[in-house]
Structures are given as C-alpha cells and as structure tokens.
Amino acid sequence: MVENNHSTDSTGEFKRSRSRFDDRILDDPGARWPVEPGRYRLVVSLACPWASRMLVVRRLLGLEEAISLGVADPIQDEKSWRFTLDPGDVDPVLGIRYLAEAYQLAEPGYEGGVSVPAIVDVPSGRLVTNDYLQMTLDLSTEWTAHHRPGAPDLYPEPLRDEIDEVVEAVFRDVNNGVYRAGFATTQERYDAAYRDVFSRLDWLEERLTGSRYLVGDTITEADIRLFTTLVRFDAVYHGHFKCNRNKLTEMPALWAYARDLYQTPGFTDTVDFDHIKRHYYQVHTDINPTRIVPCGPDLSGWTTPHGREALGGRPFGDGTPPGPDPTAASR
C-alpha cells in the first residue's frame, strides 16, 4: 500500500506522494522494459486497494501466466512488505525476503517508502515500476498480444476521455479521500475530507441509480478503481478512517453496484477481507494503537442478489468471463 509514501503537512492534511519509480513496460522491442511474458513479477498485498486494481485487471485480461504473482504478508514490519507467506519467508521467484530489496537494486541507497503494487524484473531482480496510476492502463493497452481470447476492453478508446474524467474525480474524493479523512491530524482537515468523500459518494449514488456501470454499458477501468475502495468501505474505512456518515450498505445503488461487481468473475477471488482488516487495524498504530481487529461487520451480504441485471449492460462487452486462475494451484 502507499500510505507509507505519504506525509502530513503543517495544517494536518494528508499528502500522498507521487510514485518514485514510474518506468513503463511497453509493447516495443526497443524499449528499456519491453513486454515479454514470463519476465516480470507483480508483487501485491491483498489488503491494498491500489494493488487490488492490478489483480482484477490481470484476471479479467487473462494475464496470469504472462505476469507471475507474489503476495506479501498483510502485516508489515520496520522493513515494510515481507514475503512471510512463502516457505522460508522468501519469495520463490525473486529469492528475496523483502520487497525493499528490489527497490535497492533499482536505486542503491534508496530510503523512501516501499509500496505495492510493484512490478519487478525477474532476471535482474530490480524494481521496474510502482506507478499504480499507470500500471493497470498499461496492462490494457501494452499487453494486448497476450490477453486471453474474449478479454474485455477495459479502456476503450471512444470512452477514454470520460473514463479519465470519472477516474480523476473518484481518485481525489473517494480512493484518496478516505485516506485524507483517516490520516488527517486536525479537525478542519478531517471535516473537509469527510465532506468530499460523501459528496462524491452521493454523486455516484445518483449516477449509478439508472446506469449499471460508471461509463458506457460494460465494465471499464473506472469501475475497477471505484470497486476496490467500496469493497473496503464498511470493513475498514467507515470505522477506522471515520468515514461514518453512513455505511455502503445504506446507499442502495452503490451497495447493489458493489455486489454486482463482487459477484462478477475476476473480482471475487481478488478480495480477502481477513488480509484487509488485519492490515489496516494492526499496521496503522497511530490510528489504532491497541491493534485490535474488530469482529464486524457482517460480510455475508456480499453474496446476496443485487438486481442490477435489470439495468441492462454487458459486463464483458463482446468478450467472455475469465475462467479459473490457471496459476492458483502453483502459488
């Protein structure tokens, strides 16, 4: 996650840092980092909403075998993301104990934050990029030769301007807005962030009341970016980040929309509520010094009928749903 790449200014406002490592993997044999199946490893935390975007896009596009996956422990230590979920506490492909080791190979002496998602070059072991704003778009546009048959177009050219506009608003007020509320250190900054979050959620509630998806009639990048915040909202943001005007379950259109996506193939198996709750409540000791993880909320509602089919829309457009993850058994 990227909250260890942030600061709070003198007014108490949360400031998210830009990605330090923003190289791109391009569909160009002459590029510094060319598209090459099997060469790169995606490192994520299942707790992290920014990493979860990559997981959903990778699944929907069928890139599991082209880009391998490393999953970090949801609980960080002083060296940040660690591979304690793997035998011997070592990533089996990269051969490292901490993601920070890949950062050091990219920039010896680096002392900044270590964030996920991160893509690492397997042959050299060095970090390629942690640019979470660009990475999903590149999976959609640069890796097309390796998409599965029937992969959806998550960033269709005719809709890109509208997608970009919606994504920017959602990032500012919702994706990052909950962090601005949660990490604010003055009442004034918290109040402002709180207003932004719920003003935007009200806007989204109205937009989604008559439309199954955010832009067009299929799932796009915009839906994926909103979903990864919504799926964490009641579990952590409502209480832990004090975004508590109401729960997601109390906003009819947004709640049905979130369930619709959750139940769509390619989304469900990227969500791990245990990792999500343990990370937020046990790592953010400045917010939750007792490190107690709450038992609630009841999460069984995520699998209940949502009724959004009545709005029409085609989740995958002219494509097809993804099948089971072909690499799941090997992880």
What single-letter DSSP state applies at residue 77?
Answer: B
Nearest CA among 51, 38, 71 for reference residue 328: 71
d(CA 101, CA 105): 6
- How far is Cα 235 from Cα 217, in angstroms, rounded to an integer? 29
- Of the residues 98, 103, 179, 262, which is catalytic? 179
Residue 163 near residue 155, CB atoms below 8 Å: yes
- Distance between CA 14 and CA 151 in Å, rounded? 37
Please tell me which residue in 40, 48, 98, 262 is annotated as part of the active site: 48
Do the annotations mark residue 81 as ligand-binding? yes
CB 8 within 8 A of CB 180: no
DSSP assignment of 166-231: HHHHHIIIIITHHHHHHT--SHHHHHHHHHHHHHHHHHHHHHHHS-SSSSTTS--HHHHHHHHHHH
**Is residue 38 left, alpha or beta, with left meaning phi > 0 and alpha meaning psi from -120 to 50?**
left
Check if 179 is active-site.
Answer: yes
Binding residues, by number, are 81
Binding residues for glutathione, by number, are 81
Active-site residue set: 48, 179
